[in-house]
């Protein structure tokens, strides 16, 4: 059981701050890896909440490994996201205000495999084939939009 779940036992459904991290995995074809989540059936970047004592980088590395089976070998900070765009109420009613560090990664290894508890599907998308906004995980919408703009320009 993780820190956020432990906090939920204490505070119930009230809004809490949730530090998190994720990684935009970019392959050699400039495609981005997205995960279709089990909780809301929407696409987002691999990532999740921070555990006590972790750095943002350690959180991203752990979450990517858990959710995709991939080992990230080098992370580059893309941006830190917070505010109303990252306010979210999960399908189970848990309310969070997320602060997340998002990293870029094009140096990774391992075999792509999904965590069946958290992911329905993993897929690399061409930038012009990224799912429409309504199919994106709400907290990831602004992140994916900024990632797409960045990747198109580079």
Active site residues: 121
The Cα 117–Cα 37 span in angstroms is 9
Residue with tokens 């350690």: 58
Residue 21 contacts residue 103 (beta carbons within 8 Å): yes
CA distances from 98 to 18, 86, 102 (A): 5, 5, 12
Residue 118 contacts residue 67 (beta carbons within 8 Å): yes
CA distances from 138 to 56, 74, 81, 141 (A): 21, 27, 13, 5
């Amino acid at each position: 059981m993780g820190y956020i779940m432990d906090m939920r036992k204490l505070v119930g459904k009230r809004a809490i701050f949730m530090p998190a991290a994720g990684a935009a995995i970019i392959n050699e074809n400039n495609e981005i890896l997205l995960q279709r989540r089990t909780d809301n059936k929407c696409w987002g970047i691999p990532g999740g909440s921070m555990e006590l004592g972790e750095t943002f980088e350690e959180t991203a590395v752990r979450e990517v490994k858990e959710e995709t089976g991939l080992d990230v070998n080098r992370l580059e900070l893309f941006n830190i996201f917070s505010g109303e765009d990252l306010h979210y109420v999960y399908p189970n009613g848990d309310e969070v205000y997320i602060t997340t560090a998002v990293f870029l990664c094009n140096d990774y290894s391992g075999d792509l495999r999904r965590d069946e508890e958290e992911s329905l599907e993993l897929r690399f998308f061409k930038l012009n084939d990224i799912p429409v906004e309504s199919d994106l995980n709400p907290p990831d919408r602004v992140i994916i939009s900024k990632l797409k703009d960045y990747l198109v320009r580079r």
